[in-house]
Structure 1
């Protein structure tokens, strides 16, 4: 079985085509194709409230390329979803309808809650019965989920994201609301809580922290030291010395501010970085749609 996931974010648009391998009690998603294009729809939406004609044309060209790849791989199922930028765009629905009409490609504009739920499906399978706060930072929004004893007990979506913050379209009130919510729901005196971070920026921050251990975990202090290094570098240094992509070099600092703020409010001393994201959640959602009775455990490849 082959599946395709399209993740239309505020910073980048991703396509992943996956082969599903079923063996005994587990399923493994083997990546056949992965394309990430830095369209940055959030730049238009958070500044002007709508996607520009220029980026609408680029988006249509990108969807044409993705549709061709989906057809060439002859996938058994696909799911395309758009998140924060398309949700808030005045012409988001119109653009999605045009893609359906001209390319016969279905795209669903999903809520922050739906976005978090898809990621939760793969995150939960890697956690034990402890106390966790899942932080998913996107370009336009941050999704927070709190788990206790392997169950989600609280969840909230905040209009704070890496691109939105970079564009100066976040507000002090939104940051205060997020910190207050975390303090109220995540922190429990005498009880340890661990953060779980998803999103391209936390993966890059983990990589830049020079981890020595095989475990994908770093302390809050390590995260903050890595953040300080980045803040002391110019944009040119981040581009050339660290060889970050242009669409990563500018948003990684505002993204790091969000992870740090949430961890501090929750009093989390460390963060697990499992290197999974919405595309993995989409593929698992598709697998469950085709096999609703399956109880196989997801293993990422």
Structure 2
């Protein structure tokens, strides 16, 4: 058994895998909704935030004491990348949990997103989008090769915290989120805009929850693994036309994301409109899978093809 802990801005997750025929098979997944980005004040993770991370990691440690894990890797994304006291926080976590934290750059996170998604999605030409709690990673790829990666400092949780006063965003708040996303997208180099982006490969909890929302709204038929961008807009519009129904549906599908799902979906919709994307294909795998695969390949556990 091989394990990875993903210390994200919104959730902290432990995932355990077995390796069979050079492929990862997920055997256990446990998460805590920690909301670490909510503990960031003046670009520093507060002592309360550090204690929250330590408590969750020690809870995972108790689980790991009862499971034989040959290798365990712990990494953080925007949760610790986008703060000024990163070294202080990682040292405090090490002192109180024994875990060494690998803090990924935005580029590294995007690359691991891509290689993780490759395990379940045909990645030929398109745009990969991973909406986390504190950042959104974009990977432009063509002919099954990465062309360019970008990380923007807007995620579902920090966007909610900075723009939304109540549970769901108002029309004006929705516009403000869209403007903030467009401002970041305008900074991306022009050459990337020539890459075919009809399809978005969606990675991460926000996109998976949006797929759950889409399936819950469908009247019949098998569960979908993709939906079109017009369906995405309809789901977001529901919050304005029938707020009570939207809240009820989110509580049914992803209750832990009641306040962050709509902001995350607005980020996704804005990106889709900006790049004229037609559909969103949801990947079952992502940064954790790509990161662990890379680590095990480097260690010789998985053989490079």
**TM class, shorter-chain normalised?**
0.7 to 0.9
Give the Cα–Cα distance (whole angstroms) in 2 for the partners of residues 101 and 142 of structure 1: 30
The alignment covers a number of residue pairs equal to 289
1:107-256 to structure 2, matched below 5 A, reads 107-128=101-122, 130-168=124-162, 175-181=181-187, 184-188=190-194, 193-210=198-215, 212-213=221-222, 216-234=225-243, 238=247, 242-256=251-265
Residues 1:200 and 1:257: Cα distance change in structure 2 (over 3 Å): same
Superposition deviation, residue 172 in structure 1: 7.8
- Match status 1:67 vs 2:61: yes
Distance 1:92 1:201 in 2: 25
Give the distance between the partners of 2:137 and 2:261, measured in 1 at CA: 17
- Kept in 2: contact 1:130–1:149 (CA 8 A): yes
Residues 178-216 of structure 1, C-alpha deviation per residue, up to 9 Å, x if partnerless?
332569344449x56211111111111111112645651
Could you say which residue in structure 2 is the equivalent of 1:17? 16
Change (3 A) 1:58 1:41: same
CA distance in 2 between counterparts of 1:253 and 1:83 reads 21
What 5-or-longer segments of structure 1 have no aligned partner? Answer: 297-301
Q: Secondary structure at the match of 1:267?
A: coil
More relative contact order, 1 or 2 (CA 8 Å, 6+ apart): 1
Residues 185 and 125 from structure 1, CA distance in 2 versus in 1: closer, same or farther, beyond 3 angstroms?
A: farther
8 Å Cα contact 1:3/1:18 also seen in 2: yes
Aligned partners of 1:265 and 1:253: how far apart in 2? Answer: 18
Instruction: Quickly say closer, same or farther: Cα 1:218–1:153, change in 2 above 3 A.
Output: same
Q: Counterpart of 2:61 in 1: which secondary structure?
A: helix
Instruction: Give yes or no for contact 2:177–2:263 (8 Å, CA) kept in 1.
Output: no
Per-residue deviation, residues 39-74 of structure 1 (Å, max 9, x unmatched): 1011122x5422232232222121112123223212
TM-score (norm 2): 0.84
Shift of residue 154, structure 1, vs aligned partner? 1.4
Partner Cα distance (2:52, 2:156) in 1: 22
TM-score normalized by the length of structure 1: 0.85
Cα distance per residue 1:67-104 (max 9 Å; x no partner): 23223212111111111121223333222212223332
Equivalent-residue separation in structure 1 for 2:252 and 2:225 (angstroms): 22
Q: Which runs of 5+ in 2 are unaligned?
A: 164-175
Q: What root-mean-square deviation, in Å, do the aligned CA atoms of Structure 1 and Structure 2 show?
A: 2.8
Distance change >3 Å, CA 204–CA 98, structure 1 → 2: same
